[in-house]
Amino acid sequence: MTEMIPTWVDGKLVAVEKLEAHRRGLLHKAVSVFVLHGTAVLIQRRAMAKYHTPGLWANTCCTHPHAGELPEDCAARRLSQELGLSGLTLEHRDQITYRADVGQGLIEHERVDIFVARVARRVTPRPNPDEVMETAWVDMADLAQRTRRSPEAYTPWLCIYMDQYSTQIFA
Protein backbone atom coordinates (compact mmCIF):
# COMPACT_ATOMS: atom_id res chain seq x y z
CA MET A 1 0.00 0.00 0.00
CA THR A 2 1.29 3.46 -0.93
CA GLU A 3 1.67 5.86 1.98
CA MET A 4 0.07 9.23 1.38
CA ILE A 5 1.18 12.23 3.46
CA PRO A 6 -0.30 15.73 3.94
CA THR A 7 1.61 18.00 1.53
CA TRP A 8 1.24 21.58 0.37
CA VAL A 9 0.85 21.89 -3.40
CA ASP A 10 0.06 25.31 -4.88
CA GLY A 11 -0.81 26.56 -1.39
CA LYS A 12 -3.33 23.80 -0.72
CA LEU A 13 -2.92 20.87 1.66
CA VAL A 14 -3.42 17.62 -0.29
CA ALA A 15 -2.39 13.98 0.08
CA VAL A 16 0.71 13.09 -1.95
CA GLU A 17 2.56 9.77 -2.09
CA LYS A 18 5.44 9.99 0.42
CA LEU A 19 8.28 9.12 -1.96
CA GLU A 20 6.94 11.57 -4.57
CA ALA A 21 6.84 14.37 -1.97
CA HIS A 22 10.50 13.65 -1.14
CA ARG A 23 11.59 13.38 -4.78
CA ARG A 24 10.00 16.76 -5.56
CA GLY A 25 11.04 18.40 -2.28
CA LEU A 26 7.46 19.40 -1.53
CA LEU A 27 6.66 20.96 1.84
CA HIS A 28 4.84 18.35 3.94
CA LYS A 29 3.74 17.72 7.52
CA ALA A 30 5.95 15.83 9.94
CA VAL A 31 6.32 15.05 13.63
CA SER A 32 9.52 14.66 15.69
CA VAL A 33 9.76 13.42 19.26
CA PHE A 34 12.53 13.75 21.84
CA VAL A 35 12.32 11.61 24.99
CA LEU A 36 14.33 13.25 27.78
CA HIS A 37 15.58 12.19 31.20
CA GLY A 38 17.32 15.09 32.92
CA THR A 39 19.96 16.26 30.43
CA ALA A 40 19.94 12.96 28.50
CA VAL A 41 18.04 12.40 25.25
CA LEU A 42 17.07 9.04 23.77
CA ILE A 43 18.31 8.75 20.19
CA GLN A 44 17.93 5.98 17.63
CA ARG A 45 19.99 4.62 14.78
CA ARG A 46 17.80 4.09 11.72
CA ALA A 47 17.51 0.57 10.32
CA MET A 48 19.51 -0.25 7.21
CA ALA A 49 16.28 -1.03 5.32
CA LYS A 50 15.04 2.58 5.57
CA TYR A 51 14.57 4.20 2.15
CA HIS A 52 16.71 7.20 3.10
CA THR A 53 19.40 7.91 5.69
CA PRO A 54 19.78 4.23 6.73
CA GLY A 55 22.20 3.59 9.58
CA LEU A 56 22.28 7.23 10.69
CA TRP A 57 21.47 8.42 14.20
CA ALA A 58 18.27 10.45 14.63
CA ASN A 59 16.12 11.91 17.39
CA THR A 60 13.94 9.54 19.42
CA CYS A 61 11.46 9.14 16.57
CA CYS A 62 9.95 10.99 13.65
CA THR A 63 7.36 10.40 10.97
CA HIS A 64 4.63 11.88 8.82
CA PRO A 65 1.04 12.06 10.07
CA HIS A 66 -1.75 10.39 8.16
CA ALA A 67 -4.35 12.65 6.55
CA GLY A 68 -6.54 14.05 9.33
CA GLU A 69 -4.34 12.64 12.12
CA LEU A 70 -3.56 15.04 14.96
CA PRO A 71 0.18 15.64 15.48
CA GLU A 72 0.10 14.43 19.11
CA ASP A 73 -1.69 11.22 18.08
CA CYS A 74 0.88 10.70 15.35
CA ALA A 75 3.74 11.19 17.82
CA ALA A 76 2.28 8.64 20.25
CA ARG A 77 1.61 6.17 17.42
CA ARG A 78 5.16 6.37 16.14
CA LEU A 79 6.74 6.03 19.60
CA SER A 80 4.84 2.78 19.94
CA GLN A 81 5.54 1.52 16.39
CA GLU A 82 9.25 2.31 16.32
CA LEU A 83 10.30 1.87 19.94
CA GLY A 84 7.52 0.04 21.78
CA LEU A 85 7.03 3.04 24.08
CA SER A 86 3.55 4.04 25.23
CA GLY A 87 1.92 6.08 27.95
CA LEU A 88 4.42 8.96 27.78
CA THR A 89 3.15 12.48 28.31
CA LEU A 90 3.92 14.47 25.18
CA GLU A 91 4.44 18.23 25.34
CA HIS A 92 4.20 20.22 22.11
CA ARG A 93 7.31 22.40 21.93
CA ASP A 94 7.23 24.20 18.61
CA GLN A 95 6.54 23.95 14.93
CA ILE A 96 9.53 24.48 12.66
CA THR A 97 10.17 24.26 8.94
CA TYR A 98 13.37 22.97 7.41
CA ARG A 99 14.66 21.71 4.07
CA ALA A 100 17.47 19.15 3.79
CA ASP A 101 18.99 16.93 1.13
CA VAL A 102 18.83 13.36 2.48
CA GLY A 103 20.64 11.73 -0.44
CA GLN A 104 19.55 9.57 -3.35
CA GLY A 105 17.83 12.55 -4.97
CA LEU A 106 15.46 12.97 -2.01
CA ILE A 107 14.64 16.17 -0.12
CA GLU A 108 13.02 16.46 3.30
CA HIS A 109 11.08 19.75 3.23
CA GLU A 110 9.04 19.54 6.39
CA ARG A 111 6.82 21.59 8.64
CA VAL A 112 7.48 19.67 11.86
CA ASP A 113 5.54 19.59 15.10
CA ILE A 114 8.16 18.97 17.80
CA PHE A 115 7.20 17.03 20.92
CA VAL A 116 9.13 16.34 24.11
CA ALA A 117 8.39 13.60 26.65
CA ARG A 118 10.17 13.95 29.99
CA VAL A 119 10.57 10.69 31.88
CA ALA A 120 11.43 10.15 35.56
CA ARG A 121 13.72 7.24 34.70
CA ARG A 122 15.47 6.15 31.53
CA VAL A 123 12.92 4.06 29.69
CA THR A 124 14.07 0.94 27.89
CA PRO A 125 12.80 0.89 24.33
CA ARG A 126 11.86 -2.28 22.47
CA PRO A 127 12.93 -1.25 18.95
CA ASN A 128 11.13 -2.53 15.87
CA PRO A 129 14.07 -3.93 13.83
CA ASP A 130 12.41 -2.81 10.58
CA GLU A 131 12.69 0.77 11.83
CA VAL A 132 15.50 0.99 14.40
CA MET A 133 18.79 -0.87 14.68
CA GLU A 134 20.07 0.68 17.92
CA THR A 135 19.18 3.18 20.64
CA ALA A 136 21.27 5.19 23.09
CA TRP A 137 20.87 7.75 25.84
CA VAL A 138 23.17 10.72 25.19
CA ASP A 139 23.74 13.95 27.10
CA MET A 140 22.24 16.86 25.12
CA ALA A 141 25.45 18.92 25.20
CA ASP A 142 27.44 15.88 24.05
CA LEU A 143 24.94 15.25 21.24
CA ALA A 144 25.27 18.86 20.08
CA GLN A 145 29.08 18.46 19.94
CA ARG A 146 28.82 15.12 18.13
CA THR A 147 26.47 16.44 15.45
CA ARG A 148 28.86 19.34 14.78
CA ARG A 149 31.99 17.16 14.84
CA SER A 150 30.67 14.20 12.81
CA PRO A 151 27.50 15.28 10.94
CA GLU A 152 27.84 12.35 8.53
CA ALA A 153 26.85 9.97 11.36
CA TYR A 154 23.56 11.80 12.01
CA THR A 155 20.45 12.55 9.99
CA PRO A 156 20.42 16.02 8.45
CA TRP A 157 17.32 16.96 10.46
CA LEU A 158 18.94 16.03 13.78
CA CYS A 159 21.94 18.21 12.89
CA ILE A 160 19.56 21.07 12.03
CA TYR A 161 17.59 20.59 15.26
CA MET A 162 20.74 20.60 17.39
CA ASP A 163 22.34 23.55 15.59
CA GLN A 164 19.37 25.85 15.06
CA TYR A 165 16.51 24.82 17.36
CA SER A 166 17.95 23.29 20.53
CA THR A 167 16.78 26.16 22.74
CA GLN A 168 13.18 25.73 21.53
CA ILE A 169 13.29 21.95 21.89
CA PHE A 170 15.16 21.51 25.16
CA ALA A 171 14.18 24.64 27.13
User: Does 74 participate in catalysis according to the annotation?
Assistant: no
Residues 61, 82, 110, 159: which is the catalytic one? 110
User: Does 110 participate in catalysis according to the annotation?
Assistant: yes
Residues 6+ apart with CB under 8 A from 140: 36, 39, 40, 41, 166, 170
Residues 61, 62, 74, 159: which is the catalytic one? 62
Number of H helices, E strands in the chain: 5, 9
Q: Are 165 and 96 in contact (CB under 8 A)?
A: yes
Cβ neighbours, 10 Å, residue 84: 14
> Helices (DSSP H) in the chain: which residue ranges?
18-24, 71-83, 140-149, 156-164, 166-170
- Residues taking part in catalysis: 62, 110
